[in-house]
Chain A
């Protein structure tokens, strides 16, 4: 052990004894009044032990580069907006062009087994439909400067080989798009934004709820969907404070979605004194979960966190009940789908999931969107369609405001700190991630009931984000 090390502890120890200095080696120099991600104090990392040396994502991200000086092109035939999403369901479909695929509406997604190249494709198609509707409506209003049509340039996000990076490079350098909407999968979205940073092109994310997606300090990324951080806080509050549970286990997908998106729920559980009894995994596509469930049962769990896609979550619910486990199940927003309901049946209860907006809103703007979507595509919109519609509208509005310059479009987008979309008011934080309050979807006899924090805890709790424990 080095003398300096010993000496420093000697100084600290002795001085502490005589009351000269506090036992804190390094202190934060940043203001403590702002908390990133609207994190309640009790869920903030190390909050019981140490004030961090530095806090990130507090100051507004800036882009101080050269891009704003690049002149507009002299002539264009269309204003191209890129779209990257998982829209191709099968290998055979990938041989054809993706343009026709979005219009195959009305297909239910229960036939999952081995059919889709990406299990996200049904949602990706909804996402594309939402963006398409916004572009069509903008063109119906006259297009860019009342003369030039907007054009959505569509690329499939094939999760294999991290193809989203190459897709964005082609969109930027070959298709000359001005901004991009995409993508959905967490890993591919990370790939996408890293490429966007180098190219210097704005990316509007409308579908990836991975908290870390925005925690990369890239000033070209805007996310208009409420993320798993906000949804996890609400879920954890519901489980531990509303329901008063103490013994919760976790069962999640073994992929990046399961690994990263459960993070905030796990941390909130641990920091509030309810660490998971166990955290087990399964592979996407698995159909049998009894081994994991029997272990959870043996631990006398009161609830199970299931983080993954809806089909597996539905099968877990069924097998849990077959084992006599009448437990609460807490899930991500992905289970709020027809696939899950079809799998668990009409009598299912005691399932709660985070949700990024209120799909039962009676707001006229939202109702008008729902009607337009149904007329256009013959099917109801859902979260991915609605958020993509908002995202496309934001890009179109930004282009209308500042013209054809990627950096200026980025500036216009990040100025929309309180954008009012069909999914409600978007509250972008310092790193341009939407922090609108999450909703809780509670399954009651096979139907989802959507609750705000105020619905669950009262208006005071909604205002300050803090609630007292039920105990």
Chain B
């Protein structure tokens, strides 16, 4: 009797929402439905008659109505159904483009060149920056982002920052930043922060206001395990970071991490809608949802509170189209067919354009058309919403 009373008292305490803690919610299918992208447009070099310059997509950057694509064979842009591309014949310094950033102030496009530095595309001309003529630490550029007047560049030998007003460069590596390793892989700026995924070095955060660095590492310090799921960054082999709504999303080749400034949450293929732990890239609409590129499809966390996912993948090697898997955590609730027909689901890049979502693969790009899109869970019937509180009812329901 005393034992049961103890458990009940403790569970009642647990049901009290803590300050700063997001309310847990119900379950997809019972408490609402996530949005599912069933209608997709697919583009390959062949289908666009060369409009998309190359099918191997490294990066996607939404720029208002325009969408820019970094490919293995040049730079492509899609706008209003039309494709335009640039190669070395058009002045692009090198055809393997790894990343793209837009300067909202000047309208310049900054282009990471894989092995050949950085280019500024402005007024129809390309200006070329290399490690021999600038402060670029290395010509192998993986990521670029714009923060204020600064262009931040993630290179294989550290981080370079170019001030477009003063023309000055700053460089950061193991000598002046908390970098266990210097192999920076992606750069992303938003809301007063600049984040870098550092290969072997976790996530590096630059605070614009304080001009200081913070590093985030895997607390267990071991490569071959994750000791606890939610103790910090899943792993130090990171591939991308995205910061929005004071929430950091970070991909690794061992799972996904979410950090709200106070609590970490880890996601892996064994406990979430991720079809794989091999994660190439993440973008997020907000702190509640994201789009994660994996080697086995694209996973969209649609509602953080209820752990509701919609994951898109080819159900078999010879499938003509991809299937949407609606999932609560690691449980598949149902499958929905889509018309997404790209031949391979190794997804590398993604970006969000309003209600639409773009994904780039090793062979072509696709746009998910978000007609009548909604975020979070949409109630199926009125009166069945259970979004606020981790009730005893839900606990016992889950046990059943």
Chain A contacts to B: CB under 8 angstroms:
2-8, 10-11, 14-15, 18, 20, 25-26, 29-30, 36-37, 39, 45-46, 50, 52-57, 62-67, 69, 161-162, 165-166, 169-170, 173, 187, 190-191, 194-195, 198, 200, 211-212, 215-218
Cβ of B363 under 8 Å from chain A: yes
- Residue numbers in A under 8 Å from B228 (CB-CB): 25-26, 50, 53
Partner of A169, one of B114, B222, B296: B114
- Residue numbers in A under 8 Å from B21 (CB-CB): 2, 4
State whether A217 and B278 are in contact (beta carbons under 8 Å apart), knowing that A45-B225, A166-B115 are contacts in the complex: yes
Chain B contacts to A: CB under 8 angstroms:
2-3, 6-7, 9-11, 13-14, 16, 18-19, 21, 55-56, 58, 95-96, 98, 114-116, 131, 137-140, 156-157, 181-183, 185, 199-200, 220, 222-229, 235, 237, 253-255, 268, 270-271, 277-278, 295-296, 343-346, 361-363
Known: A53-B225, A62-B295, A216-B200. 16 other contacts (CB 8 A): A3-B18, A4-B21, A8-B10, A10-B13, A11-B14, A45-B222, A46-B225, A56-B223, A56-B224, A56-B277, A64-B295, A162-B156, A162-B157, A191-B157, A198-B58, A216-B199
Task: State how many angstroms separate the Cβ of B339 from the closest Cβ of chain A.
Answer: 20
- Residue numbers in A under 8 Å from B296 (CB-CB): 64
Partner of A7, one of B10, B98, B268, B346: B10
State whether A14 and B13 are in contact (beta carbons under 8 Å apart), knowing that A162-B140, A194-B185 are contacts in the complex: no
CA A211 to CA B254, docked complex, whole Å: 17
Please tell me if the beta carbons of A54 and B270 are within 8 angstroms of each other in the complex.
yes
Which of B9, B182, B224 has the most chain A CB within a 10 Å cutoff? B224
CA A2 to CA B222, docked complex, whole Å: 29
State whether A64 and B346 are in contact (beta carbons under 8 Å apart), knowing that A18-B6, A190-B199, A217-B278 are contacts in the complex: yes
Partner of B14, one of A7, A46, A165: A7
Please tell me if the beta carbons of A6 and B13 are within 8 angstroms of each other in the complex.
yes
Please tell me if the beta carbons of B140 and A4 are within 8 angstroms of each other in the complex.
no
Please tell me if the beta carbons of A29 and B140 are within 8 angstroms of each other in the complex.
no
Task: State how many angstroms separate the Cβ of A421 from the closest Cβ of chain B.
Answer: 26
CB pairs A–B below 8 angstroms (16 shown): A4-B16, A5-B18, A10-B10, A11-B11, A20-B7, A29-B271, A46-B225, A52-B225, A54-B268, A64-B346, A66-B55, A66-B56, A69-B343, A165-B140, A169-B96, A212-B200
Please tell me if the beta carbons of B156 and A54 are within 8 angstroms of each other in the complex.
no
State whether A67 and B224 are in contact (beta carbons under 8 Å apart), knowing that A2-B18, A7-B13, A173-B96 are contacts in the complex: no
- Residue numbers in B under 8 Å from A215 (CB-CB): 223-224, 237
CA A195 to CA B140, docked complex, whole Å: 8
- Residue numbers in A under 8 Å from B254 (CB-CB): 54, 56, 217
Partner of B226, one of A7, A8, A54: A54
- Residue numbers in B under 8 Å from A18 (CB-CB): 2-3, 6
- Residue numbers in B under 8 Å from A218 (CB-CB): 253
- Residue numbers in B under 8 Å from A212 (CB-CB): 200, 223
Partner of B140, one of A2, A66, A169: A169
Task: State how many angstroms separate the Cβ of B127 from the closest Cβ of chain A.
Answer: 20
Task: State how many angstroms separate the Cβ of A410 from the closest Cβ of chain B.
Answer: 14
Task: State how many angstroms separate the Cβ of B22 from the closest Cβ of chain A.
Answer: 12
- Residue numbers in A under 8 Å from B131 (CB-CB): 161
Closest residue of A by beta carbon distance from B347: A65
Task: State how many angstroms separate the Cβ of A37 from the closest Cβ of chain B.
Answer: 7
- Residue numbers in A under 8 Å from B362 (CB-CB): 65-67, 200
- Residue numbers in A under 8 Å from B229 (CB-CB): 26, 53-54
Please tell me if the beta carbons of A36 and B200 are within 8 angstroms of each other in the complex.
no
CA A37 to CA B224, docked complex, whole Å: 9
CA A198 to CA B138, docked complex, whole Å: 17
Top 6 A-B residue pairs of the complex, sorted by shortest distance between their CB atoms: A169-B115, A7-B13, A52-B225, A66-B362, A11-B10, A65-B346
Please tell me if the beta carbons of B224 and A162 are within 8 angstroms of each other in the complex.
no
- Residue numbers in B under 8 Å from A173 (CB-CB): 95-96, 115
Please tell me if the beta carbons of B14 and A66 are within 8 angstroms of each other in the complex.
no
Closest residue of B by beta carbon distance from A170: B115
- Residue numbers in A under 8 Å from B185 (CB-CB): 194
State whether A66 and B227 are in contact (beta carbons under 8 Å apart), knowing that A169-B115, A190-B181 are contacts in the complex: no
Which of B16, B345, B362 has the most chain A CB within a 10 Å cutoff? B362
- Residue numbers in B under 8 Å from A64 (CB-CB): 295-296, 344-346
Closest residue of B by beta carbon distance from A191: B156
Please tell me if the beta carbons of A14 and B6 are within 8 angstroms of each other in the complex.
yes
- Residue numbers in B under 8 Å from A45 (CB-CB): 220, 222, 224-225, 227
Please tell me if the beta carbons of A65 and B16 are within 8 angstroms of each other in the complex.
no
- Residue numbers in B under 8 Å from A20 (CB-CB): 3, 7
CA A7 to CA B16, docked complex, whole Å: 10
Task: State how many angstroms separate the Cβ of B36 from the closest Cβ of chain A.
Answer: 23
Closest residue of B by beta carbon distance from A195: B140
- Residue numbers in A under 8 Å from B277 (CB-CB): 56, 217
CA A190 to CA B56, docked complex, whole Å: 23
CA A190 to CA B271, docked complex, whole Å: 30
Closest residue of A by beta carbon distance from B226: A54
- Residue numbers in B under 8 Å from A46 (CB-CB): 220, 222, 225, 227
Closest residue of A by beta carbon distance from B139: A166
- Residue numbers in A under 8 Å from B95 (CB-CB): 173
- Residue numbers in A under 8 Å from B2 (CB-CB): 18
Please tell me if the beta carbons of A65 and B14 are within 8 angstroms of each other in the complex.
no
Closest residue of B by beta carbon distance from A57: B224
Please tell me if the beta carbons of B227 and A52 are within 8 angstroms of each other in the complex.
yes
- Residue numbers in B under 8 Å from A52 (CB-CB): 220, 225-227
CA A62 to CA B295, docked complex, whole Å: 9
Task: State how many angstroms separate the Cβ of A90 from the closest Cβ of chain B.
Answer: 21
Please tell me if the beta carbons of B96 and A191 are within 8 angstroms of each other in the complex.
no
Please tell me if the beta carbons of A162 and B138 are within 8 angstroms of each other in the complex.
yes
CA A427 to CA B181, docked complex, whole Å: 29
- Residue numbers in A under 8 Å from B114 (CB-CB): 169, 195, 198
Task: State how many angstroms separate the Cβ of A255 from the closest Cβ of chain B.
Answer: 11
Closest residue of A by beta carbon distance from B224: A36
Please tell me if the beta carbons of A194 and B199 are within 8 angstroms of each other in the complex.
yes
Closest residue of B by beta carbon distance from A163: B138
Please tell me if the beta carbons of B224 and A165 are within 8 angstroms of each other in the complex.
no
State whether A11 and B140 are in contact (beta carbons under 8 Å apart), knowing that A67-B362, A215-B224 are contacts in the complex: no
CA A4 to CA B20, docked complex, whole Å: 12
Task: State how many angstroms separate the Cβ of A211 from the closest Cβ of chain B.
Answer: 8
- Residue numbers in A under 8 Å from B6 (CB-CB): 10-11, 14-15, 18
- Residue numbers in B under 8 Å from A187 (CB-CB): 181
CA A91 to CA B108, docked complex, whole Å: 40
CA A39 to CA B224, docked complex, whole Å: 11
Partner of B344, one of A3, A50, A53, A66: A66
- Residue numbers in A under 8 Å from B13 (CB-CB): 3-4, 6-7, 10
Please tell me if the beta carbons of A190 and B183 are within 8 angstroms of each other in the complex.
yes
Please tell me if the beta carbons of A216 and B237 are within 8 angstroms of each other in the complex.
yes
